[in-house]
Structure 1
Amino acid sequence: MCIMAMAWNAHPRWRLILIGNRDELHARPAAPLARWEPPNHLIAGRDLLSGGTWLGVSEQGRAAIVTNLRGYGDPRPDRASRGALVTDLLAGREAVALEDFNPFNLILLDRNQAHFLTNRPAPLRTELTPGLYGLSNGTLDAPWPKTLALKSALLDWLMTEAVDPLTLFDALRLESLPHAGIAPDTPSDVPAEALISPIFIRNPAYGTRCSTIIAIDAQGHGTITERRFDPEGTQTGENSLPFAWPVAEK
């Protein structure tokens, strides 16, 4: 993923609302959102080049999302796949040797806790308190224009409708550049991406491949929905799968 906003235990109706866009080379093959076999408790898209995923949920009570981290140069092909790290965490396997991966930001959630992980400038794992968060390819909650815009859209939804999460797809399609915020201080590691980019990137080589919404209510009933797009920005498909988290322990 390249941008996301989430509300974690910040609304009486919703345990988690997470919305985000995956920006990637259109030539990189990927399978759409589906239930994996095995493990059948994992629901995610799949990167067909490296085999992992960028975002997913587990019916064992976990969710995870990863973004690349700018400012450390081109990714090294000899390093382990960041998508495989997401898959391992969703399967309940602990992350080890974070420094062995290319630079990343990662958010891991379970029934009771949320954590932020990164491996640059040094490996770090921090517990997140209930609240509203935004993440792109910089530090957590860096005030980049598009990150502020997506967080603002999510906050508006929580304060007004907070009924149908799928209406948040409108926020994920914004192609205008917001005026508020601070521009990234480093260029993207992807030459086709502008220094300041909108929430939705329409580009024939590198752009928004899919938008995803995860919604989990206070009782653990959840839905994950993915919309996919071609290089012209036209929607090419949508998958939506229900799931359930185990009841949180008191």
Structure 2
Amino acid sequence: MCLIALALHAHPSYRLVIAANRDEFYARPTAPAAWWADAPDLLAGRDLREGGTWMGVTRAGRVAAVTNYRDPGFAQLADAPSRGALVADFLRGAADAESYANDLAERAAAYNGFNLLVGDDGGWFYVSNRTAGVRRLEPGVYGLSNALLDTPWPKVVRARRAMEQAVAAAEGPGWDARLWEALADRVIAADDALPDTGVGSERERLLSAPFIRTDVYGTRASTVLTIANDGEVRFVERSVVPGQDGWTESRHAFRIGSESGSGSSE
């Protein structure tokens, strides 16, 4: 993922709300969100090159999402494990979120730069190999892109504001419309608000919008995930068709602890 807005126990009806965009090269093969054949309790999209994922949820209510950390000043490790495996390994594993995060913090240097969010019924945790330790997340609204958690890049500020407005709207049909609008936002930030991550001003501009579109790279999927207070999970993913304005949509719903759920694609 490259943009995540997350609300923990901030909505009266939902213990968790996530709105996220995954940015990637168009040529990288990807499968849309579905239940995995080799991990039937795991619902996620899939990177078909390395086998991992950027965000997913399980029938037990375990959730994880990852973003890369953008800093060309750090040398890239040619033999580093896939960062998508960090999400998949947690979701397929038995370790609780806190234990997984603490164990990962001890071996994080083996990976290229990442930010990982993991959560279960024991709490939510943030770990990155660009800052020390593990952070337990308290109830509230958070934003994450390709820097540390809540770094106020323009796209992060916009996504957090949209999440705050959405959860404040609370009930009623269309309360989450602000989230979809925020994920589809293609407005490039003003030059004086751009971060300086070492990629040059032209690329900073292109990457500053919440929804990115270039000739070879851009937002590949937008996702809204909710977990209601009663355990009802809804996972909606819009997969972008490169070079076109449309998308395909997959919807999944289940209750935590159930052995079945509904899903559709269109």
TM-score (structure 2 length as normaliser):
0.84
Number of the residue aligned with 1:77? 78
User: Which of 155, 158, 167 does residue 149 from structure 1 map onto?
Assistant: 158
User: Which of 92, 116, 119 does residue 129 from structure 2 map onto?
Assistant: 119
Residue 181 to residue 243, structure 1, CA distance change in 2 (3 Å): farther
The letter of the residue matching 2:236 is T
Equivalent-residue separation in structure 1 for 2:10 and 2:170 (angstroms): 14
In angstroms, what is the RMSD of aligned CA positions?
Answer: 2.4
Equivalent-residue separation in structure 2 for 1:74 and 1:27 (angstroms): 24
- 1:150 alignment partner, SS class: helix
The letter of the residue matching 1:156 is Q
Equivalent-residue separation in structure 2 for 1:74 and 1:228 (angstroms): 31
Number of the residue aligned with 1:241? 252
- What whole-Å deviation, never above 9, does each CA across 1:126-146 have from its counterpart, x for those lacking one? 111010000000111001101
1:89 matched to 2:99: no
Are 1:55 and 1:65, in contact at CA under 8 Å, matched by a contact in 2? yes
In the TM superposition, residue 161 of structure 1 has moved relative to its aligned partner by 4.8
1:128 matched to 2:129: no
In the TM superposition, residue 165 of structure 1 has moved relative to its aligned partner by 5.8
Structure 1 runs of 4+ with >6 Å offset: none
Equivalent-residue separation in structure 1 for 2:79 and 2:243 (angstroms): 32
- 2:18 alignment partner, SS class: strand
Which structure 2 residue ranges, 5 or more long, are not aligned? Answer: 259-266
- What whole-Å deviation, never above 9, does each CA across 1:58-103 have from its counterpart, x for those lacking one? 1122100000012144643311111111101112343542221111
Number of the residue aligned with 2:263? none
- What whole-Å deviation, never above 9, does each CA across 1:187-230 have from its counterpart, x for those lacking one? 359x9664751000111211000101101111110111110112
Are 2:194 and 2:208, in contact at CA under 8 Å, matched by a contact in 1? no
Identity of aligned residues (%): 40
Are 1:202 and 1:233, in contact at CA under 8 Å, matched by a contact in 2? no
Equivalent-residue separation in structure 2 for 1:98 and 1:49 (angstroms): 22
Are 2:11 and 2:170, in contact at CA under 8 Å, matched by a contact in 1? no
Matches within 5 A, 1:1-250: 1-71=1-71, 72-73=73-74, 75-92=76-93, 93=95, 94=100, 95-96=103-104, 97-122=107-132, 124-163=133-172, 164=174, 166-167=176-177, 168-178=179-189, 182-188=193-199, 194=205, 197-232=208-243, 234-246=245-257
- What whole-Å deviation, never above 9, does each CA across 1:41-66 have from its counterpart, x for those lacking one? 10000001111000000112210000
Are 1:165 and 1:215, in contact at CA under 8 Å, matched by a contact in 2? no
Are 2:191 and 2:205, in contact at CA under 8 Å, matched by a contact in 1? no
- 2:219 alignment partner, SS class: strand
The letter of the residue matching 1:58 is T
Number of residue equivalences: 245
Equivalent-residue separation in structure 2 for 1:35 and 1:75 (angstroms): 32
- 1:40 alignment partner, SS class: strand
Residue 40 to residue 17, structure 1, CA distance change in 2 (3 Å): same
The letter of the residue matching 2:89 is D
- What whole-Å deviation, never above 9, does each CA across 1:139-163 have from its counterpart, x for those lacking one? 1100110100011111111112544
* Farther-moved stretch of structure 1 (87-96 vs 128-137): 87-96
Which structure 1 residue ranges, 5 or more long, are not aligned? Answer: none
Equivalent-residue separation in structure 1 for 2:55 and 2:122 (angstroms): 19
TM-score (structure 1 length as normaliser):
0.89
- 1:203 alignment partner, SS class: coil
Equivalent-residue separation in structure 2 for 1:73 and 1:195 (angstroms): 21
